[in-house]
Chain A
Amino acid sequence: QSALTQPPSASGSPGQSVTISCTGTSSDIGGYNFVSWYQQHPGKVPKLLIYEVTKRPSGVPDRFSASKSGNTASLTVSGLQAEDEADYYCNSYSGSNSLLFGGGTKLTVL
């Protein structure tokens, strides 16, 4: 059960778009459409942004979008705002009856 691979950091200026990748294997991301993404501000509880690869829960702005290609999932934040500065985590179901998180990406809004 190895963690999914995310870049440790990402950054962008207000109004820009930034994409965060999450790389796994054919046994997790590549094998199932159960990829989810979470936003966590410092000292706060994680918040679900995306589930089932591309679906947004009600209340999540459409500035947040996601996709998957092969063994890599991606989260795109468009129209960056100051409040988007946070840690972002991906998660995927794995065929070994487990769920894996990525190591997290710290997004900085410049």
Chain B
Amino acid sequence: EVQLVESGGGLVQPGGSLRLSCVASGFPFSPYSMNWVRQAPGKGLEWLSYIRTSSSMIYYADSVKGRFTISRDDAKNSVFLQMNSLRAEDTAVYYCVRSVQYGFDHWGQGNLVTVSS
């Protein structure tokens, strides 16, 4: 069974940093591209970042470019999202998502990040 388990969320002050982690299991991790997608409370889905196999290509949404960094460690079946200069509008549930041909086929349960003083 495919499982994606996120961790690292929580409460952080504006301007602060957090690092989200996602550990994958139940499938061979290295051949798959991975993404981070978030959903603000009561709002829609927002794609944030994509990382291809072997980190060969990385994309970011304009809203997080320059502040967030995606990375992966295939030896640990893990993908990460380093989030810096956090703002109140970054408050959301953050999902780790596997993609196949740009379709998001498996989602983690989500990890809440709250940016507030």
Contact = CB atoms under 8 A, between A and B. Distances in A.
A38 B107 CA distance: 11
Tell me if A's interface is mostly helix, strand, loop or mixed: strand
A64 interface: no
Interface residues of A, number: 27
Contact of A48 (B59, B60, B103): B103
B44 A101 contact: yes
A89 B103 contact: no
Interface in A24-79: 34, 36, 38, 40, 45-48, 50-52, 55, 57
Interface string B2-21: 00000000000000000000
Given A1-B61, A45-B107, A99 B102 contact: yes
A57 B102 contact: no
Contacts of B46: 101
Interface in A78-95: 87, 89, 91, 93
A51 B50 CA distance: 17
Interface of A: 1, 3, 34, 36, 38, 40, 45-48, 50-52, 55, 57, 87, 89, 91, 93, 97-104
